Each structure stands twice: as structure tokens, then as C-alpha cells.
Amino acid sequence: MKILFVEPGKEAQPAEIQGDLKEMQAIVGGQIQALYPWEDPVALICNDEGKLLSLPLNRALEDYDMIAGNFFICGIEGDAFVSLSDPLMIKYQEKFRYPELIGNSPMGLFAQKCSEQTYQRIQEELKHPPERPKDKSAPER
């Protein structure tokens, strides 16, 4: 089954999987949840407890939600998950091509597309912020 695989901090990549439940659960790191946010015959398969497990936020889902952890896009026919067609692969690869930095603002969460290199650099800076120079004009306490 052809899918579009999307990891936090990385460009979306086409992949091929067998499509059985255990494999899908391994890809998303737990119980799967299928979302159908678009009119196209596609499903977004993610970890059902991604946010509860504090998986890294991955991509914004339109303007109303954030997907946490790995996810993939596949086609649907009736109740079955199937290969993503070539035209839909191209469409969703373009939509999810770039990683997104997700942060807080006074108005809520926001997502900013960036390159993989920028994403990795900012994540590293968040883990190990550079020391700020001391303000020499401020009195010592």
C-alpha cells in the first residue's frame, strides 16, 4: 500500500507498507486513529493518544487542530485503507512537504513551515539555550 509518511521535523516522504494493523500501529507508535478532514478519498492515520502521550507536535491540521507524532496519509475505498493514488500523493506531499515549527502565542498555537535544517537547529536551541551575556549596566545583587 502506497502511503505518504510524515514525521515531526522532516519532509513528507512516499513509502510502501503492507497495510496490516500491527504495521500501522508501529508507524504511529500506538493505537491508530483515522481522520477524514478533506473531501478527497484519503485518511490521515495518526496515534489516537499522541497528545496525551506528549508526542512531538508534527503538523497543523487545517486551522483547527495539531497532529502529534508520526502520521501517514493513505487512500480509502469504502471502509478499507488503500494505496494513495499518484495525483493525491503529489497533492498531499506538497501540502505536508515542509516541517512545521509549532509554538504558543497569545492567540493560541501557531505553525510555521521551515526547512529540516532550521527545524533541527531551533529544536537544539530549545534544548540548550545559549547563555545570555550579562548586562554590565545592571547592579549586581
Q: What is the pLDDT of residues 81-118, one digit of tens each?
A: 999 999 999 999 999 999 988 877 787 777 878 778 88
Q: Count other C-beta atoms under 10 Å from residue 16's C-beta.
A: 10
Q: Is residue 32 predicted with pLDDT exceeding 80?
A: yes
> How many whole angstroms separate alpha carbon 60 and alpha carbon 38?
14
Longest alpha-carbon distance in the chain: 70
Q: Is residue 134 predicted with pLDDT exceeding 80?
A: no
Task: Give the model's pLDDT for residue 75.
Answer: 98
Q: Is residue 137 predicted with pLDDT exceeding 70?
A: no
Task: Give the model's pLDDT for residue 101.
Answer: 80
Cell of 33: 486513529
Confidence tier at 138 by pLDDT (50, 70, 90): low
Task: Give the model's pLDDT for residue 136.
Answer: 66
What are the distances in angstroms from CA 21 to CA 2, 48, 66, 136?
15, 14, 23, 61
Average pLDDT of the residues of the chain:
89
Give Rg (Cα) of the chain: 18
Reported pTM: 0.82
User: Which region among 12-16, 57-61, 131-135 has the lowest average model confidence (pLDDT)?
Assistant: 131-135
> How many whole angstroms separate alpha carbon 41 and alpha carbon 114?
28
Task: Give the model's pLDDT for residue 107.
Answer: 76
**Where is 58: in which H helix or E strand?**
strand 57-61
Q: Percentage of the chain surpassing pLDDT 90? A: 65
